[in-house]
């Protein structure tokens, strides 16, 4: 439930409601809009049964949240969430470009990539250390050694590091070595992992499940937020359809749909969304045009030799052209990069 305050409600009105709710052990989220304030209530509302909130000074009306995703929805928090990571913001005017190889393979591979990206003004480096591969015989990632190499790249370049974890056992390591945790498509409904990640304060990129509806995806975000971690960035990475020419079908309509339903930032992953490097740049343009707050792109110094996802990886030259196109899109849309 949220309390919608009257436009003329005073600071004292808002503070006295906040005190009352906190006194009943309820969580409070205050959204200060340009016209009016909305107070979101978190917790078991039954303790409010004998409290006529609607009669309190400054209150206009009480609005129940009908969506199953309460904290992730716009009713609870009408203004956009901006996730702050060091001096960067995801979900504001600036487009966030995250790039790097599918998997960390070696020191030279990740450091060369990081140095190249840094020279192009990219602030976020991705690289998988735990790879949830379809086959148990495929390269599974360098695990902790991979995280250490990412941390080395962070140390050298000052970039922020994004890496996937597939089990709650890796959370402590992730807290040591990375700046943003990725929850991959295959784990989007691993509810225990979501809850554990929710107990940290690390920003989380939550990818859409391979066959998850938008509502299921927002409910997955809700699992994380319900534990107190609001630093979530959603990522559209394509869903399974009957089409096999592309690896997945990048559902770009989810971007404006999420923007309507939720205050959380959303980025797009055209690499996994298409599975083909030639389609990555056009779909990146389209994702930005649809309102995405950024992109996550796979890039490899020599995609033909990549141990995973080579066919969808850009090389340094093709990444450079992508960047030029994205800069033009950003200009057109009044966003910065
Ligand atoms: C990845 O980012 O390399 C990855 C495995 O992504 P997804 O979970 O979207 O398949
Ligand atoms: Mn990959």
**What confidence score (pLDDT) does residue 34 get?**
85
Report the separation in Å between the CA atom of 138 and the middle of ligand 1, taken as the mean of its atom positions. 14
| Pair 93, 53 in one domain | no
CATH number at residue 225: 3.20.20.70
Q: Does 215 reside within a domain?
A: yes
**What confidence score (pLDDT) does residue 45 get?**
84
CB of 306 closer than 8 Å to CB of 300: yes
Report the separation in Å between the CA atom of 324 and the middle of ligand 2, taken as the mean of its atom positions. 23
Total domain count, the chain: 2
Q: In a mutational test of the pocket of ligand 1, which residue from 150, 164, 166 has the highest number of ligand atoms less than 8 Å from its CB? A: 164
| Pair 91, 169 in one domain | yes
Give me the percent of the chain exceeding a pLDDT of 90.
Answer: 95
Nearest protein Cα to ligand 1, atom 5 = 184
Residues with C-beta less than 6 Å from any ligand 1 atom: 102, 128, 184-186, 207, 237, 269, 272
Looking at the DSSP bridge assignments, the partners of residue 336 are 94
Segment 271-293, tens digit of pLDDT = 999 999 999 999 999 999 999 99
| Pair 89, 222 in one domain | yes
Chain-centroid distance of CA 39 in Å reads 24
**What confidence score (pLDDT) does residue 254 get?**
98
Give me the percent of the chain exceeding a pLDDT of 70.
Answer: 100
pLDDT at 33 over 90: no
Instruction: Place 149 in a pLDDT band, splitting at 50, 70 and 90.
Output: very high
**What confidence score (pLDDT) does residue 124 get?**
98
Please tell me the distance from the alpha carbon of residue 26 to that of residue 48, in angstroms, as a whole number.
10
CATH number at residue 11: 3.30.70.1140
Determine the structural domain holding residue 34 and report its residue range.
Answer: 2-63
In terms of phi and psi (left: phi > 0; alpha: psi -120 to 50; beta: otherwise), the region of 183 is: beta
Question: Which residues have CB less than 5 Å away from ligand 2 (the ion)?
Answer: 102, 309
**What confidence score (pLDDT) does residue 204 get?**
98
| Pair 97, 237 in one domain | yes
**What confidence score (pLDDT) does residue 70 get?**
92
Chain-centroid distance of CA 292 in Å reads 11
């Amino acid at each position: 439930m949220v309390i919608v305050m009257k436009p003329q409600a005073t600071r004292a009105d808002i503070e006295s409601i906040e005190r009352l709710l906190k006194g009943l052990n309820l969580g409070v989220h205050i959204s200060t809009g340009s016209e009016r304030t909305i107070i979101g209530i978190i917790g078991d509302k039954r303790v409010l049964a004998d409290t006529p909130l609607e009669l309190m000074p400054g209150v206009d009306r009480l609005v129940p949240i009908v969506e199953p995703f309460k904290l992730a929805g716009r009713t609870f928090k009408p203004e956009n969430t901006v996730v702050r990571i060091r001096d960067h913001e995801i979900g504001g005017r600036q487009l966030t470009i995250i790039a790097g190889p599918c998997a960390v393979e070696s020191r030279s591979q990740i450091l060369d990539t990081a140095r190249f990206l840094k020279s192009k003004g990219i602030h976020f480096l991705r690289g998988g250390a735990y790879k949830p591969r379809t086959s148990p015989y495929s390269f599974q990632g360098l695990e902790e050694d991979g995280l250490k190499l990412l941390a080395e790249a962070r140390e050298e370049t000052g970039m922020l590091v994004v890496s996937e974890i597939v089990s709650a056992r890796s959370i402590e390591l992730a807290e040591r070595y990375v700046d943003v945790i990725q929850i991959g498509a295959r784990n989007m409904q691993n509810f225990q992992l979501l809850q554990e990640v929710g107990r940290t304060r690390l920003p989380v990129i939550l990818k859409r499940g391979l066959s998850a509806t938008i509502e299921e995806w927002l409910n997955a975000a809700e699992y994380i937020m319900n534990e107190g971690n609001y630093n979530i960035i959603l990522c559209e990475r394509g869903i399974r359809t009957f089409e096999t020419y592309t690896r997945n079908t990048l559902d770009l309509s989810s971007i404006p749909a999420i923007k309507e339903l939720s205050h959380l930032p959303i980025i797009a992953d055209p690499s996994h969304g298409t599975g083909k490097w030639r389609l990555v740049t056009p779909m990146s343009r389209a994702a930005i045009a649809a309102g995405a707050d950024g992109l996550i792109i796979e890039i490899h110094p020599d995609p033909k030799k990549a141990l995973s996802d080579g066919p969808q990886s850009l090389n340094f030259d093709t990444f450079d052209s992508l960047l030029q196109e994205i800069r033009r899109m950003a200009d057109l849309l009044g966003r910065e990069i």
